[in-house]
Amino acid sequence: MIIHNNEIAQKLDEMGDLLAIKGANKYRIRAYKNAARSIRSQGRRIDEMIDSGEDLTQLDSVGKDLASKIKEIVSTGELSDLKKLKNQLPSTLLNLLDLEGLGPKRVKRLYDVLEIETQDDLKKAADNEKIREVKGFGKKTENNIREQLLDNNEKDRRFRIDKVEELIEPFRAYLQNIDTVSDLVIAGSYRRRKETVGDIDFLVIATDSKNMIEAFTKYEEVKKVISKGNTKSSVMLKTELQVDLRVVEKRSKAPALLYFTGSKKHNIKLRKLGIDKGYKINEYGVFKDDKRIKCETEEDIYKLLNLEYIEPELRENRGEIKAAKRNKLPDLIENKDIKGDLQMHTKHSDGSSSIKEMVEKAIEIGYEYIAITDHSSYIGVTNGLSDSEIPSYLDELKRVDEEYSEINVLSGIEVDVLEDGKLDLTDESLKRMDVVIFSIHSHFNLEEKKQTDRILTAMDNKYVNIFAHPTGRMINKREGYKYDIEKVVQHAASSNIIMEINGSPSRLDLDDINSKMASDNHVSLVINTDAHSPKELSFMKYGISQARRGWVQADEVINTLNFTDVIKKFKR
Ligand code: DGT
Ligand code: CA
Ligand code: CA
Ligand code: ZN
């Protein structure tokens, strides 16, 4: 059995911690902790030392007694003393020690007095202000605990795609640089471009798998090696992102890529389809009567099953296999289809930059047009525009548009919808804009019927064009507000309102499901970045992948049109 040094050390650590909670002799506790530290810092594998008959007592902080315990862990994977302790005390108490301000003694006291065993118990007790009543604890400690638990919950969440990208691209580059790597892809939900990612799945074709795995686990951002085998390994990065690695043979590349891209449900459907046709499909290959069928690409495998090629963004088992069978898959929108960006902010409200700076970046990207759409003033935080400020805002926009012949700069506004569905600026102001975006930034908790009516009322203002970030959800932060979205979508279709797919990775709103629903209802869509700085104009790619996940085609998205056609869309 292969057992990593980290796993041995962890068991010794747990032993020390549980003894401490129990109130054991401090020298005994320290012995376990020191041995754990010593083993973690060994350059050599302890299990191999044991195999070759070496004496473990030559290691720092390891005496006869500990040496025999370590041998027990390596040969059985368990430590019987630890098991015994875990029968006496809940092992979940160990998770409480991770919190700042909670040492073994205090954990024990909370367990004795309030029967707190888990972080959940602790959270409840903190919320009910029970902890401050325990001897040795105060209001301050209680608050500190509550705050830490809130932060921890944040960590359990899935990672936003932009954050994952930032963490994983340097790792990809590091692995790519290893000599024996011939091919490396990130599969899983990252390749399917989901808005959040649970973990990262690297797939590597390499001639020397052992060397590859060694390098993988030695990456400097690795906090913990979770597992390490001959062809696969998992690590936890310091940022708490888990990364899995699979090394496969060249001939398994396509089936492995298909398998590890998922989704799981899509895979299961494909496998069943294969069985019906007499094929066995798994991550190693495609087989008929135990004979390998040569499949060099994913396309080859789909073709074998009489299916059109299915793009990763569609592989969610939401009808894509049926559509592929009938050659009815959508012709998905691509980055290169986009000709402009119709929502962005400048210093006229909460943006960081001037109109010119935004325009220059847009020219650099190669856009034919953009709209500057600063906020109205209703939500004070955005420092937006009031009716009296509109004329000078428009003057400046006009001047900039004239100054840059390479691009068309449309005048726009993102006007707030008030509680009753009226808008935050007068029709006189709105009328003067090339494009009017309306959106909701307040009163999220209205009852569903009221919220729906509020939105329908806003749509009936004859100067509005685009309903921005229509559900208001913030990824990992808050759900969208409740309203009858089908009704609103139908109303948008019949009254020529364009619905936005907001590309900001904190929003991605509409999401895939709602984008598909809107497009099925023949609503025109727009993909905007909602950039608050020139750099954020690059959010377009996230909007595009979200649209692709929603089966959206270029001809459904107005900012794929050229300038003369797009402005026609704003006449209602
Ligand atoms: P995530 O990490 O939660 O964002 O989502 P995925 O899709 O990346 O899921 P993950 O990392 O658990 O697994 C990667 C892919 O491996 C998954 O999309 C499909 C494949 N896979 C994993 N487990 C199974 C399984 O039990 N059956 C099949 N057919 N495929 C699986
Ligand atoms: Ca994954
Ligand atoms: Ca995984
Ligand atoms: Zn907004």
Percent residues over pLDDT 70 in the chain: 98
Q: Whose CA is nearest to atom 16 of ligand 1?
A: 260
Q: Is the pLDDT of residue 70 over 90?
A: yes
Nearest to 528 by CA among 558, 568, 554: 558
Q: What pLDDT, in 10s, does the model give residues 222-259?
A: 999 999 999 999 999 998 999 999 999 999 999 999 99
Cα 399 to middle of ligand 2, angstroms: 49
Residue 14: predicted pLDDT = 94
- CB hemisphere CA count around 172 (13 angstroms): 16
Bridge partners (DSSP) listed for residue 413: 374, 436
Could you tell me where the DSSP H helices lie in 45-103?
46-51, 64-76, 80-88, 93-96
Peptide bond into 263 cis (omega under 30): yes
Q: Is the pLDDT of residue 186 over 80?
A: yes
Whether residues 68 and 101 fall in one domain:
yes
Which residue has better confidence, 379 or 191?
191
Classify residue 345 as left (phi > 0), alpha (psi -120 to 50) or beta: beta
Whether residues 120 and 38 fall in one domain:
yes
- Where among 247, 276, 291 does a domain terminate? 247
Residue 182: predicted pLDDT = 86
> What is the distance between the alpha carbons of residues 117 and 16, in angstroms, rounded to a whole number?
18
Residue 330, domain member (yes or no): no
Structural domain total, the chain: 4
Element spanning 222, H or E = strand 222-228
DSSP string, 267-336: HHHHHHHHHHTT-EE-SS-EEETTEEEP--SHHHHHHHTT-----GGG-SSSSHHHHHHTT----B--GG
The domain that contains 178 carries what CATH number?
3.30.460.10
Which ligand is closest to the CA of 373, given by its number? Answer: 4
Q: What pLDDT, in 10s, does the model give residues 22-53?
A: 999 989 999 999 999 889 877 788 999 999 99
Mean pLDDT score, 522-547: 97
Q: Whose CA is nearest to atom 21 of ligand 1?
A: 264
- Where among 213, 247, 281 does a domain terminate? 247
Q: How confident is the model at residue 476 (pLDDT cuts 50, 70, 90)?
A: confident
The number of the ligand 1 atom at minimal distance from the alpha carbon of 201 is: 11
Q: Is the pLDDT of residue 379 over 70?
A: no
3-state secondary structure string, 484-524?
CHHHHHHHHHHCCCEEEEECCCCCCECCHHHHHHHHHCCCC
The domain that contains 476 carries what CATH number?
3.20.20.140
Q: Is the pLDDT of residue 94 over 70?
A: yes
Whether residues 517 and 373 fall in one domain:
yes
Tell me the residue range of the domain where 537 lies: 335-569
Cα 498 to middle of ligand 3, angstroms: 38
Whether residues 175 and 273 fall in one domain:
no
Percent residues over pLDDT 90 in the chain: 86
Residue 156: predicted pLDDT = 58
Whether residues 434 and 554 fall in one domain:
yes
> What is the distance between the alpha carbons of residues 80 and 406, in angstroms, rounded to a whole number?
75
Residue 569: predicted pLDDT = 97
> What is the distance between the alpha carbons of residues 124 and 92, in angstroms, rounded to a whole number?
16
A 10 A CB-CB count for 513 gives 13
Q: What pLDDT, in 10s, does the model give residues 385-428?
A: 999 999 999 999 999 999 999 999 999 999 999 999 999 999 99
Is 195 touching ligand 1 by the criterion CB < 6 Å?
no
The number of the ligand 1 atom at minimal distance from the alpha carbon of 262 is: 18
Which pair of tokens denotes residue 157?
């969440």
Q: Is the pLDDT of residue 382 over 70?
A: no
- The pTM assigned to this predicted structure is 0.76
